[in-house]
Amino acid sequence: MQTLHFTLLQTRLFWEDRKANLAMLEKKILGIPEKTEIVVLPEMFSTGFSMRPKDLAETMQGETVTWMKRMAATQRIILTGSLIIEEKGQYFNRLLWVLPNGSIGYYDKRHLFAFAGEDRQYTAGHKRLIAQVKGWKINLQVCYDLRFPVWGRQQNTDVPEYDVLLYVANWPERRSHAWKSLLTARAIENQCFVVAVNRVGEDGNGIYHSGDSMVLDSLGTTLYHKQHEEDVFTIQLEKETLIQVREKFPFWKDADHFKIISEDGDQD
């Protein structure tokens, strides 16, 4: 219960080619040599960060979700990453959390990247998802959410709200300094591990991604960082080290009290 194994899959993506991406990712997942429990894929891993949801979206009964369930079941892993989902005529950049038993949790990206027109093509989510595994709590977020610290902030409770803040992304190399700086800040201010997976290579718009996938501890120390190259990396996180930091430096107890209220008036 004190350890949790994450595998970060930093990879190039075939532009808007679902079958090629699923075949490539399946080969990488089947090739993971170490024991692992959670495998993390990039944002929109089946298509790349596309603004053509009408042509590329799937349903929750579609090919990619079926593939994720099969991979999770056969490899006995939790598989997570985001893809384009259509539901009731709306399109979502949806992060799925797929368990080996076929159960699925999901989080719809809250902050849509207006600079690229994502807000005109997709519908924003309003609810956070904090998953639980072996006594660990994991806050699941997507790419641009990283720039909005309140959405990821530990809400002041009797105990910290979560232990790991996880991001999946298609974050361009031209803003990699912001990516690395903000990931470090999120780890320090929330006294949690941060696990962040980004893609590498050019997308269909000629935008280059340097990867810079990272794992940081609750002091902001970098435990893993890979730039430019494809990589499949497994890391073991230790709950005891997190507990020790929180007990020695109980800064989380002094945090401001707040509530996040969504646009429909619900509290998150």
Treating both helix axes as pointing N-terminal to C-terminal, what angle do 18-30 and 63-75 enclose, rounded to 10 degrees? Answer: 10
For residues 109 and 148, give the distance between their C-alpha atoms in angstroms, rounded to a whole number: 12
Q: What is the pLDDT of residue 263?
A: 66
- Kindly report, residue by residue over 212-248, the tens digit of the pLDDT: 999 999 999 999 999 999 999 999 999 999 999 999 9
Angle 229-235-239 (CA atoms, 0-180°, nearest 5)?
Answer: 145
Query: Is residue 234 within 8 Å of residue 195, measured between CB atoms?
Result: no
Query: Is residue 145 within 8 Å of residue 152, measured between CB atoms?
Result: yes
- Kindly report, residue by residue over 60-88, the tens digit of the pLDDT: 999 999 999 999 999 999 999 999 999 99
Q: What is the pLDDT of residue 158?
A: 80
- Kindly report, residue by residue over 175-185, the tens digit of the pLDDT: 999 999 999 99
CATH number, domain 3-254, options 3.40.50.720, 3.40.50.1980, 3.40.1440.10, 3.60.110.10: 3.60.110.10
Q: What is the pLDDT of residue 264?
A: 59
How remote is the C-alpha of 142 from its chain's centroid? Answer: 5
Q: What is the mean pLDDT of residues 107-119?
A: 97
Whether the pLDDT of residue 157 is over 90: the answer is no
pLDDT band at 97 (very low <50, low <70, confident <90, very high): very high
Q: What is the pTM of this model?
A: 0.96
Angle 161-171-64 (CA atoms, 0-180°, nearest 5)?
Answer: 80
pLDDT band at 266 (very low <50, low <70, confident <90, very high): low
Q: What is the pLDDT of residue 39?
A: 99
- pLDDT exceeding 90 applies to what percent of the chain? 91
Burial letters 113-138, b for 16+ CB under 10 A, else e: beebebeebbbebeebbebebeebeb
Per-domain boundaries in the chain: 3-254
* Structure-token pair, residue 89: 């005529």
Burial letters 172-196, b for 16+ CB under 10 A, else e: bbeebeebbebbbebbbbbbbbbbb
Whether the pLDDT of residue 156 is over 90: the answer is no
* Structure-token pair, residue 214: 């990272």
Q: Give Cα separations from 60 to 91, 92, 129, 155, 266 (angstroms).
A: 12, 11, 17, 31, 25
Return the HEC string of 237-253: EEHHHHHHHHHHCCHHH
Range of lowest pLDDT (31-35, 153-157, 188-192, 199-203): 153-157
Whether the pLDDT of residue 259 is over 90: the answer is no
Angle 258-215-82 (CA atoms, 0-180°, nearest 5)?
Answer: 70
For residues 69 and 244, give the distance between their C-alpha atoms in angstroms, rounded to a whole number: 36
Q: What is the mean pLDDT of the chain?
A: 96
Q: CB neighbours (10 Å) of residue 60?
A: 14
Any catalytic annotation for residue 43?
Answer: yes
Q: What is the pLDDT of residue 207?
A: 98
Any catalytic annotation for residue 192?
Answer: no
Active-site residue identified among 58, 143, 173, 226 = 143
pLDDT band at 124 (very low <50, low <70, confident <90, very high): very high
Active-site residue identified among 37, 43, 58, 173 = 43
Active-site residue identified among 69, 109, 180, 226 = 109
Q: Give the 3-state secondary structure of residue 148.
A: coil
Whether the pLDDT of residue 265 is over 80: the answer is no
Place of tokens 């991406």: 21
